[in-house]
Amino acid sequence: MLSLKNKRLVILGAVLIALGFLAFVIQAAGDHPERAWQAYLINFLLWSAIAQGGLLFSVIMHLTKAKWSGPLNNVSEVFAAFFPISFGLFLILFLGKSYVFPWLHMDLHGKEVWLNVPFLFFRDGMALLILYGLGFAYLFNALQLKTIRQPTGGRLRSFLDQKMGANPDVKRIRQRMSTFSVLYALAFACALSLIGYDLVMALDPHWVSTLFGAYQFIKAFYVGLGGLIILASVLYLSQGESSGLTSSHFHNLGKLFFAFCLLWADFFYVQLVVIWYGNIPEETAYVIERTMASPWNLLAWCVFIVCFVLPFFILLNKNVKTKPKFMMILATVILIGIWLEHLLLVGPAISHGTRGLPLGLLDGLITLGFFGLMIFAVVYFLDEFPELKRFEPSAGKR
């Protein structure tokens, strides 16, 4: 089912991308071009975070020598296919710089040294390149242990098969994987903090929260786990046993998801309580605008309920976590919640002074366009490496 040979899936993906692109053009050419770029920025952040956090799962499982995850590692590695697209999307962001960086027209009181467009694109681009490079280096070694040297006809596959030795030295490859996984995990924290500071926090250049970076990368792993649950459920529901996944995998993954739901809320609260105690006008203004003033206050409560209260009470239940279908729906709802949370963070800065919520049908369509890109990335990768969706216990132990 998940293959480029599946005509319906290809058409669906193409239609989604076309719709998204069209919606983006209509929005950008209309009265509020900043809304188009706002949706673009939110989706770039969210879908990149799903890919980055998705791969982080496999990295962490390798680092902690976890055995329970089994085929889930393979599923998580598929998300790396979005990395090149994510980097391309970042470069395109340059075109919308006058909309996504409201500080371009502000007096920054000395912050220009840090907040200027060339330096920002240079450092964030470098951060993403390093992160993705390390991710691919890890993936290359991980795949070496999993793939059976059998050409599947794909161009990427035959290229990689050439690069991989005929008889991989398992011990050495495992060592390399460990090195790259440590580096990837470190780069994940650093790069996502930087992206969080530059592309989200700095939109309101006079507001500073030192915890913001940590909040961003914890959130990225939270959504990464959400994405992983969705993809694993799709594989499980379409292939059944041959995916190698069992309900206990979903149970354990659900527990981890639950833990990061709590951790996300914890980081949110830890930030809030410091600002609340300090009660300094330049810090509180940011929070007041988003949680107490119309139209954002309703959205803030909505985000809090959808991303924390709802999953907290649902995931307390054990049976729920073992049901892939239900977990898929829940994870989708939470991802939508995190989308809205991004809107809450960047919206007031980009759509400054709006009366109503800057949210409409076009924003949804743009999001679906990004979803189409993700579908193509995932399906292309699964076509190149079908081993990743057909789990053979012997292959994992090599």
Partner 1 sequence: MGAECQVMGLFTDEDRAASTVKALKKTPWHLKQVHSPVPSHKLSEALNIKKSKVGYFTLVGGIIGFFLGFALAMFTSAKWSLIVGGKPVIALVPFVIVGFEFTILFAVFGNVIGLLTQGGLPDYKGLNVYDPRCSGDHFGVLAACPEAEKNQLITYFKEKGGVTRVFEPSPSADP
Where does this chain bind partner 1 (CB under 8 A)?
Answer: 269, 272-273, 276-277, 279, 316
| In the complex, minimum distance from the CB of residue 298 to partner 1, in angstroms, rounded to a whole number | 19
Buried b (16+ CB within 10 A) or exposed e, 289-300: bbbeeeebeebb
Q: Is the peptide bond before 295 cis (omega within 30 degrees of 0)?
A: yes
Complex with partner 1: residue 166 or 280, whichever CB lies closer:
280
Judge contact between 222 and 263, C-beta under 8 A. yes
User: What are the phi and psi torsion angles at 279 (to 5°)?
Assistant: 55, 45
Does the CA dihedral 139-141-147-149 come out positive or negative?
Answer: positive
Q: How near is the Cβ of 279 to partner 1 at its closest, in Å?
A: 6
Segment (H or E) for 12: helix 7-29
Q: What are phi and psi of 151, to 5 degrees?
A: -65, 135
In the complex with partner 1, which residue's Cβ is closer, 145 or 272? 272
**Alpha-carbon distances, residue 160 vs 132, 133, 149, 156, 383 (angstroms):** 17, 15, 10, 6, 14
Three-class DSSP category at 40 = helix
Long-range contacts of 136-140 (CB under 8 A, 24+ apart): 136/80, 136/83, 137/176, 137/180, 138/55, 138/58, 138/59, 138/62, 138/177, 138/180, 138/181, 138/184, 139/55, 139/77, 139/80, 140/164
Angle ∠(219,320,250) on CA atoms, nearest 5 = 65
CA distance 331 to 313: 14
What's the min distance (Å) between Cβ of 313 and partner 1? Answer: 11
Q: Whole-number minimum distance, CB 211 to partner 1, in Å?
A: 16
Nearer to partner 1 (CB atom), residue 68 or residue 269: 269
Gap between the Cα atoms of 296 and 358, Å rounded:
10
Minimum CB distance to partner 1, residue 240 (Å) = 24
State in angstroms the smallest separation of the CB of 276 from partner 1: 5
Angstrom distance (rounded) from CA 398 to CA 387: 14
Instruction: Give the shortest CB-338-to-partner 1 separation in angstroms.
Output: 22
Distance in Å, CB of 267 to partner 1, minimum: 14
In 3D space, the residue among 377, 369, 384 whose CA is nearest the CA of residue 14 turns out to be 369
Query: Which is nearer to partner 1, 3 or 317 (by Cβ)?
Result: 317
The smaller minimum CB distance to partner 1, of residues 11 and 273, is found at: 273
Residue among 240 and 278 whose Cβ is closer to partner 1: 278
Q: CA separation (Å) from 273 to 204, 278, 285?
A: 20, 8, 14
DSSP reduced 3-state for 253 = helix
Distance in Å, CB of 269 to partner 1, minimum: 7
25 vs 273, which CB is nearer to partner 1?
A: 273
For residue 277, the minimal CB distance to partner 1 (Å) is: 7
Residue 18 or 273: the one with the smaller Cβ distance to partner 1 is 273
d(CA 225, CA 219): 10
Q: Of the two residues 210 and 279, which places its CB atom closer to partner 1 in the complex?
A: 279
276 vs 301 by CB, closer to partner 1 = 276
